[in-house]
Structure 1
Amino acid sequence: MENESLDTNAYIDWLLARAMLAGAGQVAARLSGQKEQWQRPYAHTQPAAAAARASVWFTAYPSAIMTQPGQTVLQALADPDLWAAFRDIGIAAVHTGPLKRSGGVTGRNYTPTIDGHFDRIGLEIDPQFGTDTDYRQMMAAANAAGLVVIGDIVPLHSGKGPDWRLAERAVDDYPGLYHMVEIAESDWDLLPDVPPGRDSVNLKPEVVDELARRQYIIGRLTRVIFYDPGVKESNWSATAPVRGADGVVRRWVYLHYFKEGQPVFNWLDQSFAAQRLIAGDIMHSLGVLGEGMVRLDANGFLGVERDEQGQVTSEGHPLAVTGNQLIAGLIRKAGGYSFQELNLTLDDMAAMGQGGADLSYDFVTRPAYHHALVTGNAAFLRLMLGLMGDFGIRANSLIHALQNHDELTLELVHFWTKYAEASFELDGETLPGLALREKIREQMYDRLMRAPHASYNLQSTTNGISCTTASIITATLGLADLNQIDETQKALIKQLHLLLVVYNAFQPGVFALSGWDLVGALPLPPAEVAELMADG
């Protein structure tokens, strides 16, 4: 049971004063009834216009930015010389990564992010990165250099912040914000105890099955992202008992596609709380912070249901398409553009682009061009380029990027789910999708991670390989000691890195490169970053 002091009206008031849903309504009201929202077309995607505003981007996660002693991330980013340097080398936009407060709250204490600040819990700038004044100074430097600042919207989930704590306590319509279900006390025997020091516990698949049989939840999803035996075996977790504002003690079961601390929003609840929160977040990013574009993170999972065949479907769900049309349309109405990082099947990517985000990350050919580099064989890349055309995905609608995450994504979702049994031709061989996927993954794992010389690249759950672009190249070249790279080897690494730049930059659409790529970053020894690796 939670501490008794957290059951008081004073604590509820403390949460309400900090909740995103409450703040979003205040921000959104600024545009309601105003002429500004009727000055621009908004119903259809505008990839050409978005790319024309800025066709070369620099991307960096704020936590990865190295600052001077005593300097915040935003103070470092406010340096006018930095923006002038970006401009001089041809960069037109900077994607700062998520800067708003993230993580959770336990009692009245804020807890750190568990997913690189994609577990948003507030509209304000995260104190870890600086102050609102720091942010305004950064925007002034960007504007003076004529560059666009790109921010982030996270429409799928939040962290366990004030909104979640209010939902646990059944305050107003906050439970309608999340995909959470109250479990009758007579069925609590199904739920495992929550370990000391935690506020929830992941459910075993057999518990999920029984809860579905008792018609509480829709059941197992076809894909468990970040599957980890004994840690995350399903997309469902149960809360500890929580006393509500009405005095009733409840346990909830809730959905999370990613980590346990990222409860999923309910995008079709009669309260429309999720839409209200995200609309306010959009208006805050564009109207208050002054961002010109925003990324829609994990936006492909906004709808989920059990279909007539008994399968629990989410990816490419019609509600996700509709939700993204609403989100992207509102962004265009407010004068901005959006892009999505959507690692789905190609047909789902194409569907999500109908009236949704203006641009999409190239998850189509990125694993394939890495495979071509590693193996010296472009057959898989040719296959993916052909499939891209078959599904009507145009190169000018894509962001052709080098590294944008701390792993090389090798999920190859297209061949894993819908097209697992479809036939594909590769190197004169006909393979079902699932076998093709495993063949490509095994080749990449063997050469980039399992080889004796490549121990610096690590497994990234089921997603792929934790590495950098440079360490993909060093592993490809068979280099074992990253501290003993000579000048000849360094020149070859640069040459291959530039080859990947050319592949991406010479395509229509947007070219994006990261700070990791600009400096040629290599992985650090795990022991040096053990604390950062502890939660995945």
Structure 2
Amino acid sequence: MHFWTLHAHDTFHYQGQTFPGNILREHIREEMYEKLSGEHAPYNLKFVTNGVSCTTASIITAALGIRDLSTITDADIQQIQHIHLLLVMYNAMQPGVFALSGWDLVGALTLPAEQVEHLMQDGDTRWVHRGAYDLVDLDPEAEFSAGDMPRPKTLYGSLVSQLQRPDSFASQLKKILAVRRAYDIAASRQILIPDVEHPGLLVMVHELPAGKGTQITALNFSAETLVETLHLPGIAPGPVVDIINERVEGDLTEQGEFTITLDAYEGLALRVVSTLPI
């Protein structure tokens, strides 16, 4: 919306080219429609004039090149969950509010369009991502909700089943949110988004409240392992600890350098254990 109005005539650099905001908007929209819906992902639908009607899981399947949802394998589900947790970390490991939906919790996919065709006659395609779900196994065999909404295919299972498995989406989400709360990341202050070399890498640096030090969120949105030396000026040196998995990842030098290794679609929440007063 802002590229259409407020920033329509501002200049932006994107993928090696320069665009005014209004043209960039159209370019990104067309690219999004091509890759996340249509022939490549027919289970996701264009939404009116802006956006794609989808679930988080079905956006991930589209990004992975899965065209037919009925062909999803157990290995696919593990990868979808892994990427979904990366998106969770992007949202949870920075200041501000964190939220996600019941559809996220169960890994819901979109409904076949013909199941909700009668609800989309006004052009609102969002009904494909509004399927029913049962978080706590109240009626595991039900195919429709009490409001007569069809139940879509889900990838992760109910919360009841997930919380019995430490490697499930919900159990890992619970661990991430416990760390977010323990370090009060919601109330932190973002102080740096450093320039990086790899196009799939995003790094965010936060000042934690109450003198808890510096927190770094590093996210690899690419399908390849990356190794990169970060330059973090003005941050007191010290050991760098993975605060989710509770292990040392390396050291931030006095020159403000830290080398990070991330597997494909991996995210790390780090804390600099400074040896100097903050």
TM-score by length of 2: 0.43
Structure ranking higher on relative contact order (CA contacts 8 Å, 6+ apart): 1
More strand as a share of residues: 2
Q: Which has the larger radius of gyration?
A: 1
Normalised by the size of structure 1, how large is the TM-score?
0.22
Greater helix content: 1
